[in-house]
Structure 1
């Protein structure tokens, strides 16, 4: 039987990953084998300090990917299959689930940030423009500094939201700050796996800044929209190619 360790409180969007990793680790150390029964939802909920609804959703993802099978009245079991095959399936499932959340956040960002760029071009003060430019300058220095690049990228987008001078948009961006940071970190890792993408990304940000500084509202909106669409397309392409490479091994 898998031994589930105590854990600090976990945000519900990450529950699936914790459970996936727990199962995978249990396979690696021999604690769990195909056909074994998983702990009950109530126990998982208590151990991970999340709702049973979150646990149920994580198990649903596992079941839909053929990792587990739910037997009504009997419990949840690891499907009878080769351990390596199951481990590979878990890895792919984690990638798919993680990317799904990133894509959803990019959709939200596209709605909010394109309008913020439009409004910022109309309303940005000189201080707002200084903040955006400072973030851009830090970004230009960050090719060899991943953390500086992440903070500069996040500041750039947050500064544009502030420059929109709309308290509702500013509040939304603040509320989503953790998700924004996670998404930007993930998308930068995807894009910068190709070294040529750093300068391309920097140029995209420069063009957005100049359109705001020049009060070209429609152009700022279009450039922000194109920036987020391009990120999503590159992520989808890179993920598809990496999964293809894994399948060739």
Structure 2
């Protein structure tokens, strides 16, 4: 594949994702992998686009280059990207994913885009909410945050869906702001039942598979 367009300057949603992630060290490459797949599915990177360099991705996600390489190797193995020696990594497209991804259908792209829109909205609103929460939080607020994180870790360790506990944590932050608008915003972006079913259907794809 000839070199395509270079990495897009607006690649910032995935960078901000790292600020709120609670992945354990062993799962760092999974976070990078999932975020890059999301970027391709949503159209942030199109077929032929050049991905950011390993150094840039490592800085974006605050991880080491070996972690980035592991994520890229998984993407290459699944036919999502192609590496050109001395040039970089280029998006191969979604054809292979559509053909081999479990239960992949055209509606997935639309629903994934909606989920990414929710994420982008969160990453715009939540930094200010976190600032206000840090200034206004009380003991009960901290207890709610700790409880949500503990439940997230337990679910993550058991391989279960964690998004409900992620929501509880961010709701706890919103409650700590004592600002009704932030609370309303946090609750408005809780995953819908349809999105939850989507996640369950695609767990086999987005969760790491034994290597």
TM-score of the pair, normalised by structure 2: 0.41
Larger Rg: 1
Greater share of helix residues, 1 or 2? 1
TM-score of the pair, normalised by structure 1: 0.36
